[in-house]
Structure 1
Amino acid sequence: MRVVVKFGGTSVADGDRINRAADSIAAAVEAGHEVAVVVSAMGSTTDTLIDEMKFDASEEDRAEIVSMGERTSVRMLKGALEARGIDASFLEPGRADWPIITDEYGEVDVEETRGRAEQCAARMRDGVVPVITGFLAQDHDGTITTLGRGGSDTTAVMLGNYMDADEVVIVTDVEGVMTGDPDVVEGARNVGEITVDELRNLSFRGAEVVAPSALAYKTDGLTVRVVHYQHDDLLAGGTSISGEFQNLIDLHERELVCLTAAGRAVRNQPGILATLSSALGEEGINIQTVSSGMDSITFYVDADNAERAEALMHEEVVADETLSSITREEEIAVVRVTGNDVQSQTDAIQQVLAPLAEERIYLYDVVTSATSVAVFVPWEDREETLDCLQGVL
């Protein structure tokens, strides 16, 4: 099996942890696996280097300086592997065999990087363990560039993809993906498997497990796992991330209605949303989407459930003095644009809305998440909306 293993900063924070990492790599190699290693800077080295730049550094100088953390890590780990009889070599920007190349826009040159990654994989077949600096890249002129926040994760999954690896293992200081933050909630436990879509949404909203930019490179056939650095077996345990993130434009096939409950400052009234959604849920009515304003909450449900849903919500409106009235609007369609880079594209919502404005398509609502934009339009305009949004993002 071909494996790319990424060790985060805490996993190689000192000599003892570097030795531990080397032991786990050596065990995998001795078991007959091809292994490539991506390494972050030791501990908080990168933060320290950044904090100590008490001057206005150019982008080129800044990248050179912060690269020293990863450059040190690969030499340390390569030396630890050699001490265990493992044939290893370190790769960093500036070397002829460096794999990750960016273009003049700072984006990864996919064709060049893929070709170099394949050459690296060929060396792995010969028994060499490449130890690669994470986070860093190099442009065609030889200038050091970086892959941004979470860049070491991105390095690992990208190379796993381009090397045709079987698995990428992210070694970090957490027990994989947890049901909640163990520092905040009691009884948090490890999630054995999670989809890439679920994890990307969690990552964009604060879960520091795998960088969202890295998951863009995950394919359906490439397994990604997250394990704790104290879990010495690289090939078992932790959380497995399944699936492949895809860019999709999806038209919900059934007509929707929107039910809006109005009340004074309902957003500041605890329990209102729970009361209304529970009333629908207890009767088996699925809620497609919820949106809210300061003085209203809107539920989108399938038109088949319209009358029953309105009656149930009306009962709650009458029973709760905070709420004043409920109204229903019919013949609504929803089109969802799910994109790999929605969160990172500052104009993502504009890209979705602009073509609809040009065609004078009325918008009932726009609901966004970390990875999608949903537009609610008249049912009669659904096909035109779908056509307008082809190719956005």
Structure 2
Amino acid sequence: MEIIVAKFGGTSVGNGERIKKAAESVVKEYMAGKKVVVVVSAINKTTDNILKIVNDAIGESVTEKQLADIVSMGEITSVRVFSSTIESLGVKSEYIDPYMDNWPVITDNTYLNAKVNFKATEEKSNELLKLLDQGIIPVVCGFLGKDDNGNVTTLGRGGSDITAFLLGHCLKAEEVIIVTDVGGVMSTDPHKLRTAKKLDKISVEEMRDLATHGAQVLHPHALKYKDPNINAKIIGFENGDLSTIGTEIMGPAEDQMLKTSALNSKPISVIAVVGEEILTKKGILSELTDTLSDNNINIYGISTGQNSITLFIDKDIADKAHEVLHEVVVRNEHLSSISLGMEIAMITVTSPDFIDTPGIITKVTEPLRKNKINIVEISSSQTSVVVFVDWNDGKKAYELVRRVLK
């Protein structure tokens, strides 16, 4: 029998009517022969209301331990209501919170932004399998954890999403379903543009970047636990049907699951275009990049300043790029000069752990500083850091930087 992990966000359990609809959707899958683990957030606005009360009553005097214990009441309440609703529909269910011995999510003792102890959580998740084998639907608090001393912790913002993907991974589930107030991932915020369309599919890498830059559908930290062998989708609560079509989350690619590093095999050339306050002039960047695209020239990176735009181009075609961009400079009144500069190396380090690692750029660049290696340019995303250095320093810099992954 396949295992499904279904996570219901606060809006999807925002009132009694929605809770009943959610419970009915779970029972429907159960009756179809599937084992279902439910992860539930606090009922809509509950946590916000609790935090306001704490702020009004205690203010800054509240300790992190006290706050984690207090805000846990939202999820602790919602699992009891949800589990009881399932039982009212004639199916056995048990709620599970951090005060119980069979609680699965084990963390360190950072009360408000705890890190998961994956090995311990994987072992404790066997308790859920025992319930599933008995025909019981477990309803687990999202967002919460427990440290080795039995203290309640929280997983930080988006914690319920983390719980769902984490348990899906530990239980080797067939599918993780995230139930939200939208029908899936949209091409943009539908509240801002009516032309927004639902996406049928999106990759983990795209979803992570989308979430990092403000999309509220799914927290990027949760995707760290997305197993490439487990199906996942985001659906809306309106249909009351877990089998409904939403947006499928694809991947991640195998190399995105690993810590990797790479050094480009050939030098990259630096081309700098200058002009007075060109960042305030419309269309300059577009004209430069369109010209390179029209000439089938790839760009490895772009750096912008108030009076300059720097482009990183494969050395083998840098002369051609220099020539075609010079034509742009000559005809554009806002540009004054262009230079073809040094040969540089590009070092890329990638790890899904970077998203949870404060100061990762410092960790990457500090060994270069100590060894007096100058950084020409640096760029980063949630899971990777790209460093450009002088070509002659490339191999040494690569060896220094890759140690960050160990």
- Deviations along 1:299-337, one digit per CA (max 9) or x if unpaired, are 112112211111111111111111111111242221111
Q: 8 Å contact 1:136–1:144 — kept in the other structure? A: yes
Q: Does 1:30 align with 2:18?
A: no
Q: Does 1:359 align with 2:360?
A: no
Identity, % of aligned positions: 38
- Give the distance between the partners of 1:274 and 1:222, measured in 2 at CA: 40
The one-letter amino acid of 2:391's match is W
Match for residue 145 of structure 2 among 137, 140, 152: 137
- Give the distance between the partners of 1:104 and 1:147, measured in 2 at CA: 11
- Give the distance between the partners of 1:221 and 1:236, measured in 2 at CA: 20
- Give the distance between the partners of 1:104 and 1:42, measured in 2 at CA: 26
Q: Structure 1 or 2: larger helix share?
A: 2
- TM-score of the pair, normalised by structure 2: 0.93
Q: Does 1:385 align with 2:384?
A: no
Q: Which residue of 1 aligns with 2:48?
A: 47
Q: Does 1:125 align with 2:137?
A: no
- Deviations along 1:347-392, one digit per CA (max 9) or x if unpaired, are 1111110111222223211112233211111223322222112231
Q: Which residue of 1 aligns with 2:294?
A: 282
Q: 8 Å contact 2:349–2:402 — kept in the other structure? A: no
Matched residue SS, 1:342: helix
State the aligned residue count.
393
Q: Does 1:234 align with 2:235?
A: no
- Give the distance between the partners of 2:244 and 2:260, measured in 1 at CA: 33
The one-letter amino acid of 2:37's match is A
Which 4+ stretches in 1 moved above 4 angstroms?
Answer: none
List gaps (5 residues or longer) in structure 2.
none
Q: 8 Å contact 1:201–1:371 — kept in the other structure? A: no
Cα 1:9–1:384 change in 2 (3 A) is same
The one-letter amino acid of 1:5's match is A
Q: Does 1:256 align with 2:257?
A: no
Q: Which residue of 2 aligns with 1:21?
A: 22
- Paired residues for 1:42-121 under 5 Å: 42-53=43-54, 54=56, 55=58, 56-104=61-109, 106-121=114-129
- Give the distance between the partners of 2:349 and 2:7, measured in 1 at CA: 32
Shift of residue 41, structure 1, vs aligned partner: 0.5
Q: Which residue of 2 aligns with 1:374?
A: 386
Q: Which residue of 1 aligns with 2:232?
A: 224
- Paired residues for 1:115-264 under 5 Å: 115-244=123-252, 245-246=256-257, 247-264=259-276
The one-letter amino acid of 1:310's match is H
Matched residue SS, 1:190: coil
- Paired residues for 1:331-370 under 5 Å: 331-370=343-382
Shift of residue 95, structure 1, vs aligned partner: 0.7
- Give the distance between the partners of 1:120 and 1:351, measured in 2 at CA: 39
CA RMSD of aligned residues (A): 1.5
- Give the distance between the partners of 1:324 and 1:186, measured in 2 at CA: 43
Shift of residue 251, structure 1, vs aligned partner: 2.0
- Give the distance between the partners of 2:132 and 2:86, measured in 1 at CA: 14
Cα 1:296–1:343 change in 2 (3 A) is farther
Q: 8 Å contact 1:204–1:343 — kept in the other structure? A: no
- Give the distance between the partners of 1:163 and 1:191, measured in 2 at CA: 28
- TM-score of the pair, normalised by structure 1: 0.96
Shift of residue 218, structure 1, vs aligned partner: 1.2
Matched residue SS, 2:352: coil
Match for residue 328 of structure 2 among 298, 307, 316: 316
| Farther-moved stretch of structure 1 (56-65 vs 127-136) | 56-65
Q: 8 Å contact 2:299–2:312 — kept in the other structure? A: yes
- Give the distance between the partners of 2:17 and 2:131, measured in 1 at CA: 28
Q: 8 Å contact 2:273–2:338 — kept in the other structure? A: yes
- Give the distance between the partners of 2:155 and 2:35, measured in 1 at CA: 25
Q: Which residue of 1 aligns with 2:303?
A: 291
Shift of residue 343, structure 1, vs aligned partner: 4.2
Q: Which residue of 1 aligns with 2:11?
A: 10
- Give the distance between the partners of 1:64 and 1:269, measured in 2 at CA: 54
- Deviations along 1:62-89, one digit per CA (max 9) or x if unpaired, are 1122111111111111111101111110
